[in-house]
Structure 1
Amino acid sequence: MRSIQDTLYNWLTIKVVFEARPEDKSAKDTMELFEGILLEDHKLSNIIVTKEEPMYFVAYEKDGERHKVRFPIELIDVMLEQIQNEPDKYINYE
């Protein structure tokens, strides 16, 4: 099983892509996969994302305790930037 930190990173990265490309079924499916791991395997709840330069903050509850982690915006947004810079390589096949 992946660590909570790794799973949150992967989930947030693809969540940012999906929010920018809501028609992208692959992004949606991947986001839901990681979300399922967070909720079912890691037993997280009340996940809230905020963005304040230069970080994304992810707050969540686990075992009745509130936790907060942060990720640099540039690290999370790199996949979205790749897609936006080379859209012909990331065609949405429905």
Structure 2
Amino acid sequence: MKSLQDVLYNWLTIKVVCDARPDDTAARDTKDLFDEKLTREHQVSEIDVTMDETMYYVSYLHGGETKKTRFPRELIEVMLNQINQEPEKYQNYPLED
């Protein structure tokens, strides 16, 4: 099992991609996976994300306490930047009916 810090990092990374690419079904499915890990495995709720020029700040409820962590934007935005630099490698394929 990954640490809560690892799951939050991965969740935030894919959340940033989902926010920028709302039609990206793979990103959405991956975010859903990390949402489930946060709630079921780590009992995290009420997640709130803010950012400034250098950091993302994540506050959340865990074990009845509000906790906070932060991540550098350059680390969180690596995946989105890579997708934006080479969009042909990250095409969205719609689900078949």
TM-score (norm 1): 0.98
Q: What is the aligned partner in structure 1 of residue 51 from structure 2?
A: 51
Give the drift of 1:57: 0.5
Gaps of 5+ in 2: none
Number of residue pairs matched by the alignment: 94
Q: What is the aligned partner in structure 1 of residue 66 from structure 2?
A: 66
Pairing 1:18-57 to 2, within 5 Å after superposition: 18-57=18-57
Q: What is the aligned partner in structure 1 of residue 13 from structure 2?
A: 13
Letter in 1 for 2:65: E
Cα RMSD (Å) of the superposition? 0.5
Runs of 4+ in 1 over 2 A off after TM superposition: none
Gaps of 5+ in 1: none
Q: Deviations over 1:63-86 (max 9, x none)?
A: 111100000000000100000000
Q: Deviations over 1:38-93 (max 9, x none)?
A: 01110001110101121000100111111000000000001000000000010101
Q: What is the aligned partner in structure 2 of residue 75 from structure 1?
A: 75
The percentage of aligned residue pairs carrying the same residue is: 57
- 2:51 match: secondary structure: strand
